[in-house]
Structure 1
Amino acid sequence: MLAADGTIVVARWNDGAPETIAEFSGRDHLYGLVPGELTADGSGMWFGSYTGSDRMRLARLDLTTGVETEVDSHPELDLDALRRAVLQGVRQTESPLIRHRHTGELLGVRYLGERQVIHALDPHFADVLAKVEQLSDGDLEAISTDDTGTRWVVSFTHDRDPDRTWLYDHSTGASRLLFADDPRLDPAALAPMTPVTITARDGRALPSYLTLPVATEPTTLPLVLLVHGGPWYRDAWGFGPQTQLLANRGYAVLQVNFRGSVGYGNAHTQAAVGEFAGAMHDDLIDAVNWAVGRGLADPERIGIVGGSYGGYATLVAVSFTPDVFAAAVDYVGISDLVSFAKSVPPFVRRNLTNFWGRYVGDPDVPEQAADMAARSPIHRADRIRTPLLVVQGANDVRVVRAESDTIVAALRDRDVEVEYLVKDDEGHGFVNPQNQIDFHRATERFLARHLGGRTDAEPAPHRSHRNDLP
């Protein structure tokens, strides 16, 4: 349970009264104790811990004594738990723990850096893992087995060949492809996603991903900075439909795990405290400068696209650094940090203590509210001159429609070019397929007009080779 000050309390209930087993700092555990899975015998709980380390490791909490013991760790990588905790809110995803289907015993643990690394904790599974990883050069995602551990069904995430599922028989070594999620996709026509590390102005390493359009000379390209949401999330290697669409239309796509992103150690996440529209934004500008400095991007054709926090980052980009971007797409983004915080229903606010309260501020404290206002794009709308596409779900209860209405009205009053796409049957992120199509069609046409990329009416170049970074 969550205490009023954000402390994570693990408790048992005896006769209706909670008895504390252990307590953990909410500053370190934004999403509570994840993955928070009971051990096979029910006497303990596996969770990601930072005790004694900046990196998240796998620990076991004894539910009788409250004693924490380490189960497994990686010397350089975080347990891939926080990213998956976020994904569980939007789609089904695999646990960072690989467990035996019948016994529940722990077989393996997932870590994530540029790519996934799996530690096998069981000798039989270690042998199976070595075999199934030969089926694809992607990262292992879903995995399940029969009760005997003989037959396995596995799928892989991949940047250009997504979600192929295989059957593997460990007794014979035989395997066969069962299906692909979308066999219409041609891997040869898709763009590779390349891990790169960018150094921020203060020396912080920013793990990032660069996707270049196929069969195109990788110099002075139009570039789209694609900003992830959260901001307590992270971009990872794999198939990104929006990334591939943009690359197909001729854009270099840069995705940056700026400070505040999870999965790169506690210090990298907490470096974002008090840095909304500050160092978090500087990281994005440093990434643009990196791409321009390497000759990859045309400084006159830089665009920024983002949703949720990424939408806020987009509005910050055009209001705090109006000379950098030639086009911007804000998808369900925050324009006013104060009004956003006050629009959160009262019964939800405690859950945001470790997030918005700690990182951004409390709108009911005058000094903090003033700081939040200073970091809000709506109060710098008079500086915006970049063409802007704003996209909003009318039923969004997380980032309410007023956040978009207000910024659009302020720009229209000044005759700044702004397009506004509102869908009455959507909330925080479009789920209706036709609305998704409308959003992406509006985005590609808007970017083509201002950055010079292709639209769906123009033929795509044919891949003759994989692009290499200059």
Structure 2
Amino acid sequence: MRSFVTFVLVCLVACNASAQDDLPAYGQAELEDFLDTPEVTRPVLSPNGRYLAFMVHTDHAENGDVLVIRDLDSPDNSNVSQTGFGRLPIINIGWASDDRVLVTLLRRGLVRVRGVPVDVPSIRTVSYDRRDMSSPTVLFEEERRVFDNLYNAYGNELVNILPDDPEHILMAAYRGDSLDLWRVNTETGAADVIEDGNSHTRQWYTNGDGVAVMRVDVNYRGRRVEVFTRQPGERRWRRTAQFRTNELSDRASEFAWGGISDQPGQIYVFSRRDGSDRRGIYLYDLAEGTYVQTMAEHDRVDISHIMVNPQNGAYLGYAFTDDRFEVEITDPDLRRHYRGLRNFFGDDVSVLPASFAGERMILYVTGPREAGVYYLYDRASGSVDPLMTPRPRLPPDVLHDVEIVRYQASDGVPLTAYLTIPRRGMGPDTPLILLPHGGPERRDDYGFDFIAQYYASRGYAVLQPNFRGSSGYGSDFAESGYGRWGERMQLDLDDAVQVMIDQRRVAFDRICIAGFSYGGYAALMGGATRPDLYQCVFAGAAVTDLLGFVDYWQRNNENAYAYWTTAIGNPRTDRDRMYWASPIHLADRMTMPVLLAHGTDDSVVPFDHTERMAEALAEVGGDYFFQTYSDAGHSFEEDGNWRLLLTQTTAMFDRVIGPDRGQYDSIFLEDWPGPMDEAAEEP
């Protein structure tokens, strides 16, 4: 069907040309292909849909990051302007109006810390006239209380473009330690405060007229969230919701902004209405403080996205992830177009309408065998034009199929997992990597996962279960994992593997378990509780001592401590259970090779968790290797770190369950890619 659609490449040739010339051969991609991610921002449409802006990274010399603006109404898309920013990296691009584009840049500059000027990296927003890019306007430059404020070093959020006032926008910016709402002139950079926040304020939301109707406050340590709302014309704020959050959770907020509506005094909100198990979308009346109408609910999962016309607030639809990302369009005309697009792209990908403007839409298309492509859809002409792909060296031919696996846990509870299938298929001699996700209040889905795809490219099947405690399936499912770390949650993982063995789809003696954060904890517990099932273990940034982990948060954040005592256990009443559910006390049961990794600057799971795990394995004579990543945080951030992580884990898999099994007397000593590899130390 694609042959009937005219494809016009609207990205700069430099965006993909060099990568396309050396695409990997059919059926095989190398490590560097997975790590190669060209630095591009997502394309954005001007409010009228006529102009398209995006960034392409060329080099770090004269041009550096290049801002590209195309006039989509020009013949053959020939009207293009390009502006290089040299050594100033572009962080983000947006539109303030049809003629003004906002570019967020990373630069070094002086900010004040307790009155003392300090030279630090900072993020600034610059306004350009798309017709003359030679005269930039730096926003807030004359407002020194904002411009020199360290709190603003991470940038200022755009709150409202004020469509009826093309010269001004609304932005959130700190004045002292208070996050206020400002009216900013995009032509001069001048700014005035229109709403006072406080030291706890973190977000502002306004209605279509630019009137603040919702404010989100978070305590100093970022765990207790309070949502305040008010009716336009009122000065007094009403506390509408209060809940806790934590850094390891993707669990949907109890009450969150959805968007402006086309009804005066009403907004769309995400909420677990009246204590509901799953999050839906509702029309909310600001004057009465009540829910007016249910816009979207799902009987199995949380609603994750809302689509609202940015010009008039009309409700267009919503999205959710059950097995895969799904979009439901409610607007009849738009639904007709979207159904045609879904048929065009096929069932193996998800099609996300990333933005709407005028008669045009930007679509993001992704799936297990599609690493992600941006498309431009013109509703008037029906044309679909590819814009750019963030991973041009991973075409569909080198990626692997993913299968949705339904299985029952040993206690009868139905669960879902995702199986990435190696090129040669599944069978009784197929090696398997069990890859539980972190969180644990996160989830996996049917889509592109670069870690699973990389391991599959090495010949391994990869299984990713959504065990009890995962997010996305409602609060009851997430809370069914509370107090069951190392127990029922662990059994859900083992049960998924057993299903694969019983179906003779994998080799029973060629299975390893690997994971990061909570997934790393689960990997270590798998090695301790089922040494008969798992032949090797990888644990990255893992929690290894439940009592120590809860104690760490008690000393650092009382709200996070309250969450973790609920999710894991209370040391005063659950000490024995937490002790014996901690890998650090079970090292003598790990009879298989264990690879450990942790960043020294991890602020979520302290580095000493893995340090002490290594000591415990050493004391019992365990076969292990501990790779330290200097200056790395919880996510290992740098490509150099990921290069070494994937190299070392694959080397262990190859030697234990892969093509090199049985050839090494010592897994970690002979020709091991260890700390001498400078990739782990790259800045």
TM bucket, shorter chain: 0.7 to 0.9
Contact 1:198-1:205 within 8 A present in 2 as well: yes
Which residue in the other structure is 2:380 paired with? 171
Contact 1:50-1:266 within 8 A present in 2 as well: no
Alignment of 1:374-413 (within 5 A): 374-413=580-619
Please give the per-residue CA displacement for 1:415-462, whole angstroms capped at 9, x wherever unaligned. 21111111112010111111110110011001111111479xxxxxxx
Which residue in the other structure is 1:121 paired with? 330
How far the C-alpha of 1:31 sits from its partner, in A, is 4.9
Which residue in the other structure is 1:78 paired with? 301
For 1:357, which of 548, 551, 565 is the aligned residue?
A: 565
Contact 1:8-1:23 within 8 A present in 2 as well: yes
Tell me how far apart the structure 2 counterparts of residues 245 and 278 of structure 1 sit (CA, whole Å). 30
Amino acid at match of 1:357: T
Which residue in the other structure is 2:467 paired with? 258
Contact 1:337-1:376 within 8 A present in 2 as well: yes
For 1:144, which of 355, 364, 370 is the aligned residue?
A: 355
Tell me how far apart the structure 1 counterparts of residues 545 and 298 of structure 2 sit (CA, whole Å). 40
5+ long unaligned stretches in structure 1: 82-95, 456-470
2:287 is equivalent to residue 64 of structure 1: yes
Tell me how far apart the structure 1 counterparts of residues 259 and 660 of structure 2 sit (CA, whole Å). 51
How far the C-alpha of 1:165 sits from its partner, in A, is 1.4
Residues 1:454 and 1:66: Cα distance change in structure 2 (over 3 Å): farther
Please give the per-residue CA displacement for 1:334-370, whole angstroms capped at 9, x wherever unaligned. 100111122237553314534x22121233xx22333
Tell me how far apart the structure 2 counterparts of residues 270 and 79 of structure 1 sit (CA, whole Å). 14
Please give the per-residue CA displacement for 1:386-442, whole angstroms capped at 9, x wherever unaligned. 210001001101111100000101111222111111111201011111111011001
Contact 2:245-2:560 within 8 A present in 1 as well: no
Amino acid at match of 1:271: S
Residues 1:189 and 1:25: Cα distance change in structure 2 (over 3 Å): closer
Which residue in the other structure is 1:268 paired with? 477
| Residue identity (%) | 27
CA RMSD of aligned residues (A): 3.0
Amino acid at match of 1:362: N
Tell me how far apart the structure 2 counterparts of residues 32 and 178 of structure 1 sit (CA, whole Å). 33
Tell me how far apart the structure 1 counterparts of residues 624 and 556 of structure 2 sit (CA, whole Å). 35
SS of the aligned residue for 1:385 comes to: coil
Which residue in the other structure is 1:210 paired with? 419
SS of the aligned residue for 1:410 comes to: helix
How far the C-alpha of 1:57 sits from its partner, in A, is 2.2
How far the C-alpha of 1:302 sits from its partner, in A, is 0.8
Alignment of 1:39-118 (within 5 A): 39-40=260-261, 43-49=266-272, 51=274, 53-81=276-304, 96-118=305-327
Amino acid at match of 2:430: L
5+ long unaligned stretches in structure 2: 1-216, 662-683
Which residue in the other structure is 1:93 paired with? none
Amino acid at match of 2:239: T
How far the C-alpha of 1:380 sits from its partner, in A, is 1.5
Which residue in the other structure is 1:431 paired with? 637
Which residue in the other structure is 2:26 paired with? none
Which residue in the other structure is 1:463 paired with? none
Equivalent residue pairs, number: 435
Tell me how far apart the structure 1 counterparts of residues 388 and 344 of structure 2 sit (CA, whole Å). 13
Please give the per-residue CA displacement for 1:120-144, whole angstroms capped at 9, x wherever unaligned. 1222321232233234231023521
Contact 1:47-1:60 within 8 A present in 2 as well: no
For 1:451, which of 657, 666, 675 is the aligned residue?
A: 657
Larger Rg: 2
Tell me how far apart the structure 1 counterparts of residues 552 and 395 of structure 2 sit (CA, whole Å). 45
Amino acid at match of 1:429: S
2:246 is equivalent to residue 37 of structure 1: no
Which residue in the other structure is 1:466 paired with? none
Please give the per-residue CA displacement for 1:173-216, whole angstroms capped at 9, x wherever unaligned. 12222222222223122211111111001111111111110134
Q: Which moved more, 1:262-271 or 1:402-411?
A: 262-271
Residues 1:340 and 1:161: Cα distance change in structure 2 (over 3 Å): same
Residues 1:223 and 1:420: Cα distance change in structure 2 (over 3 Å): same
Task: Give the TM-score taking structure 2 as reference length.
Answer: 0.59
Amino acid at match of 1:229: G
Residues 1:70 and 1:206: Cα distance change in structure 2 (over 3 Å): farther
Greater strand percent: which structure?
2
Alignment of 1:233-382 (within 5 A): 233-344=442-553, 346=555, 348-351=557-560, 353-354=562-563, 356-363=564-571, 366-382=572-588
Amino acid at match of 1:98: M
Residues 1:434 and 1:23: Cα distance change in structure 2 (over 3 Å): closer
Tell me how far apart the structure 1 counterparts of residues 308 and 427 of structure 2 sit (CA, whole Å). 43
How far the C-alpha of 1:67 sits from its partner, in A, is 1.2
Residues 1:384 and 1:11: Cα distance change in structure 2 (over 3 Å): same
Contact 2:587-2:617 within 8 A present in 1 as well: yes
Residues 1:24 and 1:402: Cα distance change in structure 2 (over 3 Å): closer
Residues 1:322 and 1:182: Cα distance change in structure 2 (over 3 Å): same
Tell me how far apart the structure 1 counterparts of residues 315 and 326 of structure 2 sit (CA, whole Å). 16
Tell me how far apart the structure 2 counterparts of residues 352 and 110 of structure 1 sit (CA, whole Å). 33
Larger relative CO (CA 8 A, sep 6+): 1 or 2? 1
How far the C-alpha of 1:42 sits from its partner, in A, is 6.1
Task: Give the TM-score taking structure 1 as reference length.
Answer: 0.85
Amino acid at match of 2:270: F
Residues 1:412 and 1:370: Cα distance change in structure 2 (over 3 Å): same
